[in-house]
Amino acid sequence: MITNSGLDIRNLTTQFLTRKGVVQAVTNVSVSVRRGETVAVVGESGSGKSVTALSAMRLVPSRQSRIVEGKVLLDGVDLLALSERDMRSVRGKKLSMIFQEPMTSLNPVHRIGDQIAEVVLAHEALSRRSAWRRGRDLLHLLRIPEPDRVLDEYPHRLSGGMRQRVMIAIAVAEKPIVLIADEPTTALDVTIQAQIIDLLDGLRREFGMGLMLITHDLGVVAEVADRVVVMYSGRKVEEADVEEFFRDPKHPYSRGLLAASLRVDRGGNYREGPLVEIPGMVPSLLDLPQGCPFADRCPRVLNQCRSEMPNFVESGGRGVACFVADL
Amino acid sequence: MKWLTEFWDHYRRNKGAVLGLIILGAIVLVAIFADSISPGDPMDLVTQPFVAPGQDAAFPLGSDMLGRDVLAGVVHGARVSLLIGLVATAVGLLIGMTIGALAGFHGGRLDELLTRLTEVFQTIPSFLLLIVIVGIFQPNIATIVLGIGIVSWPELSRLVRAEFIALRSREFVQAGVAIGMSDVRIIVTQILPNAAAPIIVSASLAVARAILNESALAFLGLGDPNILSWGSMISVGREVVRTAPYLTALPGLAIFITVLAFNLVGDGLNDALNPRRRLR
Amino acid sequence: MSHRYVLRKAWQLIPALLGILTINFVILHLAPGDIADVLAGEAGAASPEYMAQLRSQFGLDQSLPIQYGKYILSVVHGDLGYSYRYHMPVSGLILGHLPVTLVLMGLALLFAIGVGVLLGVIAARHVDTPVDWFITSISLVAYSLPGFWLALMMIVLFSVKLDWLPSSGFETIGADYRSWFAALLDTLRHMIMPALSLAAFYLAVYTRLMRASMIEIFEMDFVRTARAKGVSPSAVTFRHVVRNALIPVVTMAALHIGSLVGGAVVVEQVFGLPGIGTLAFEAVFRRDFNLVLGVLLFSSLLVVVVNLLLDITYTLVDPRIELM
């Protein structure tokens, strides 16, 4: 396997400029997704997982934010160093993203066919007819019935699940190297969620593309992910292969997350017992404590944790940022 | 009174709004002290005709073709415009709020009927209707004020109705119903205070439009013939617009500045009172 | 789109139309004095018998409900009455004066929407910069100007001082243009100031609306999707943002038709244009009631028709609205 293939986010730090001050939403985060593998990025809202993805795509609003540090390598090319024009030829073609809200992610006044054709025409010199034909093939691939009728429809006539499939079709139309899926099923019915995840997994295999799956649903992680990255307060706190992660989570936060979810292991074995919660709240990014951001909620906190920031230490494919955990 | 200081803090941030308030204050002062600034009747002939502005220190804005003092006209005209603008808007508000409240609060058949009525009045071109009303019933202050009130109530009633519909399903209103408050009490004590903000904004903008309407009427010759207003000054000055354009320019400037002030204040109030509806 | 839909929409208008007719009728009969009084007043004194005869001639001696019924009936047949000043049927008069007003309104609306949308887009693209402040300030000024005053000031500048444009009339009298193009140019020269004076207010409204609309839509999810596809910024702006931001502007413009007619009255007066505004205005002064109400009715009808047309074609503007 070529080591520089796929998406390699290195030491990314992104800041937002708000009226109340500078907020560092992502601090020194490194995530890599190789071709053909699924990496799950897990964390609560506010953990910085979406901002990481948006930074990689360079879709963070340029006036209110800045990427202060880091590299985002896609097959060895640093996306952050590209001109905006070159970056446009990467977006949608080599690196794609789908978002959480399918109900509002499609333009209400354009037909589905045009919206799929748009991404094709942005990157290939084809006729509109050929682009629409590609759309039909994609809808077929995504198992949407009556693709010709759907192409002619407007988004408001489609269900949430259908719209998300269209979004996926748009994202894979150019066979990207990596597809970033930011909580693709959170806004959908439970019954549809599994279908969408299956689709994504199938497409990954078929196209040999990398899949970065941002989610807070550990069940999904257990089903399809190869590796897990856990984020908290804008930092990476743990990384591991999925099986090892579920078997032996190192970071107290990871342990808390696993304890709090109903289903734990692969194969969907239920764990009986009362619902466990992680006490406390995520600290506000405007008012971060000096040491480990998880210190106030950590059951194994030491004095050192409150005054010093633990570095991310890794060995043999596993990594954790914690004074208490041992690799 | 803490909300007052809070409100002023928000309002202050919009510099245009503050400017509007200052201008408005100045105009109101001029209107109140018109008799001190320019004593006497502005329709009196006090000097030579066609004195140019700046030519004679006693008549800084010059005189018209009959020798009337332009400054006196502008200053006393402020009174007329403000008075008519405010009273006409008050009339429109009265009608509009009554109809809007009834429709929004009760819903059902009454709402349907009143909405149809509002639609009818909104379909008829309002300025045309105004001309017809004032023209047919003879132009005087009463018909003008009533006329402007009649053409301005539909827009206000729509707003009030929308507010009432939104508010009547809120918990504090339902609580009032549950404890047996009479309809009138609920409307006055519960709903109106919450609906006040957008209504006040609307009213401010409505005054601006009323002043424009009044001056247009006067310009067309449908103003009260016994009263000198800015619009009538322009109408009179129009005949010599080629030789003495200042006779139309100055009163028109006065109208513009006044209307601008009301619009600035209205916008400022909107920004300060409805942060979620910012026109940002 | 079905014929049934159009019919149903038209059917729903009947109560509104009836309402307008009723208001017309009410005004007519509330007015101090009637046609008989006016005619008699002009003839000098008139004997009661003469007045009675006039009244009977005009059908004014019948009971109100009967008069109302007759009025409705005649309007439905297209008979808007007879202008006793012009000695012509009202409908004929209106149709004769209509083209000038339509040209005026059309040009004004075209300018207001075209330039308004453009300025709104520019302001939105450069939010919070001097460009934005400049455009917003101009809008506020245009919104506060009395139309007739703007018209007069333009005349002072362009007719009196610069002598570039004619200050009145719809066309140069006595000119015989060979080509239709020259005639068109002549009309445009006459109409440009009137159209601009009428348009100013609406220009401001559409600029502000478009700007606010665009700012709101820029934040929407589907715009982010478009960027994520690698679409060029201009395509994002126009194909996605502007296309959606236009919807409220179009809706608002349709609501302004009635207001435009009112504005046209004033502008036609200032520029001496022979449109229905002037017709109505003079009719008011000369107490030609039939004509006044005829114009009032006709322009209300115009508003109704335009709104009906917009309703029917609205799905082209916003596909989310479906015709059932």
Alpha carbon distance A57, A32 (integer Å): 14
CB contacts of C266 in chain B (<8 Å) are 127, 216, 219-220
Give me the domains of chain A, ranges plus CATH numbers: 6-82+176-272 (3.40.50.300), 104-173 (no CATH)
pLDDT digits over C59-106, tens only? 676 777 877 888 888 877 877 777 777 888 888 889 999 999 999 999
Range A105-123 burial, b when 16+ CB lie within 10 A, else e: bbbbbbbbbbbbbbbbbbb
What pLDDT was estimated at residue C40?
67
Average pLDDT over residues A70-80: 93
| Shortest distance, CA C222 to any CA of chain A (angstroms) | 4
pLDDT of B280 above 60: no
Q: How far is CA C121 from CA B56, C113, C199, C206, C304, in A?
A: 49, 12, 18, 11, 30
Q: In what order do the strands lie in the sheet with A178-182?
A: A95-98, A178-182, A210-215, A38-42, A227-232, A235-241, A318-320, A313-315
Alpha carbon distance B275, C188 (integer Å): 45
Average pLDDT over residues C128-148: 94
Interface contact flag, C231 A156, Cβ < 8 Å: no
Alpha carbon distance C51, C58 (integer Å): 11
Band (A304; pLDDT cuts 50, 70, 90)? confident
pLDDT of C128 above 80: yes
What pLDDT was estimated at residue B275?
60
Average pLDDT over residues A4-31: 90
The pair of three-digit structure tokens given for residue A237, joined into one six-digit string: 């706190």
CB contacts of C284 in chain B (<8 Å) are 131-132, 135-136, 222
Band (B278; pLDDT cuts 50, 70, 90)? very low
Average pLDDT over residues B254-269: 94
pLDDT of A270 above 70: no
Q: Where are the alpha helices (DSSP H) in C77-173?
A: 90-125, 130-144, 147-154
In this structure, of A93-97, A134-138, B31-35, the range with the lowest mean pLDDT score is B31-35
The pair of three-digit structure tokens given for residue B111, joined into one six-digit string: 């709402």
Asked if the C-beta of C232 comes within 8 angstroms of chain A's C-beta atoms, the answer is yes
In this structure, of A70-84, A157-171, A265-279, the range with the lowest mean pLDDT score is A265-279
Q: Mean pLDDT score of chain B, rounded to an integer? A: 87
Alpha carbon distance C155, B234 (integer Å): 14
Average pLDDT over residues A113-135: 94
- pTM (whole model) above 0.80: yes
Can you tell me whether residue B245 is helix, strand or coil?
Answer: coil
Whether chains C and A touch (3+ CB pairs under 8 A) is answered by: yes
**B-to-C residue pairs, Cβ atoms closer than 8 angstroms:** 141
Exposure on the CB side of residue B50, measured as CA atoms within 13 A: 8
What pLDDT was estimated at residue A272?
60
pLDDT digits over B103-112, tens only? 888 888 888 8
Residue position matching structure tokens 């009808």: C301
CA-angle at C190, arms to C184 and C191, nearest 5°: 85
Interface contact flag, C149 B252, Cβ < 8 Å: yes
Of chain B, the percentage scoring pLDDT greater than 90 comes to 41
| Shortest distance, CA C15 to any CA of chain B (angstroms) | 8
pLDDT digits over B196-249, tens only? 888 999 999 999 999 999 999 999 999 999 899 999 999 999 989 888 889 999
CB contacts of C221 in chain A (<8 Å) are 99, 101, 104-105
Could you tell me if A176 and A209 are in contact, meaning their C-beta atoms sit under 8 angstroms apart?
yes
What residues does A16 pair with on adjacent strands? A23, A65
Range A25-55 burial, b when 16+ CB lie within 10 A, else e: bbbbbbbbbbbbbbbbbbbeebbbbbbbbbb
Interface contact flag, A109 C244, Cβ < 8 Å: yes
pLDDT of A83 above 80: yes
Give me the domains of chain B, ranges plus CATH numbers: 2-27+82-233+242-278 (1.10.3720.10)
What pLDDT was estimated at residue C19?
84
Alpha carbon distance B187, C132 (integer Å): 41
pLDDT of A276 above 70: no
Interface contact flag, C280 B132, Cβ < 8 Å: yes
Average pLDDT over residues A19-28: 88
The residue with greater pLDDT, C68 or B99, is B99
Range C145-180 burial, b when 16+ CB lie within 10 A, else e: bbbbbbbbbbbbebbeeeeebbbeebeeeeeeeeee
The residue with greater pLDDT, C312 or C133, is C133
Residue position matching structure tokens 């008549």: B59
pLDDT digits over C26-59, tens only? 887 777 766 667 666 666 666 777 777 777 766 6
Q: What is the CA radius of gyration of chain C?
A: 24
What pLDDT was estimated at residue C139?
95
Exposure on the CB side of residue B241, measured as CA atoms within 13 A: 27
Average pLDDT over residues B43-67: 85
Main-chain dihedrals φ then ψ at residue A175, nearest 5 degrees: 50, 70
Main-chain dihedrals φ then ψ at residue B72, nearest 5 degrees: -60, -40
Can you tell me whether residue C148 is helix, strand or coil?
Answer: helix
What pLDDT was estimated at residue C70?
80
Give the right CATH number for C91-317 from 1.10.260.40, 1.10.3720.10, 2.30.110.10, 1.10.300.10: 1.10.3720.10
Band (A261; pLDDT cuts 50, 70, 90)? confident
pLDDT of C189 above 90: no
pLDDT of A44 above 70: yes
In this structure, of C21-30, C91-100, C253-262, the range with the lowest mean pLDDT score is C21-30
Could you tell me if A209 and A24 are in contact, meaning their C-beta atoms sit under 8 angstroms apart?
no
The answer for residues whose C-beta is within 8 angstroms of residue C166's C-beta and 6 or more apart is C159, C172, C189, C190
Can you tell me whether residue B56 is helix, strand or coil?
Answer: strand
For chain B, how many residues are written? 280
What residues does B69 pair with on adjacent strands? B63
Average pLDDT over residues A232-239: 92
Band (A273; pLDDT cuts 50, 70, 90)? low
Interface contact flag, B216 C148, Cβ < 8 Å: yes
The H or E element containing residue C89 is strand C88-89
CB contacts of C202 in chain B (<8 Å) are none
Main-chain dihedrals φ then ψ at residue B24, nearest 5 degrees: -60, -45
What pLDDT was estimated at residue A1?
44
Q: A139-143: long-range contacts at Cβ-Cβ below 8 A with a sequence spacing of 24 or more?
A: A139/A165, A139/A166, A139/A169, A141/A169, A141/A203, A142/A166, A142/A168, A142/A169, A142/A199, A143/A199
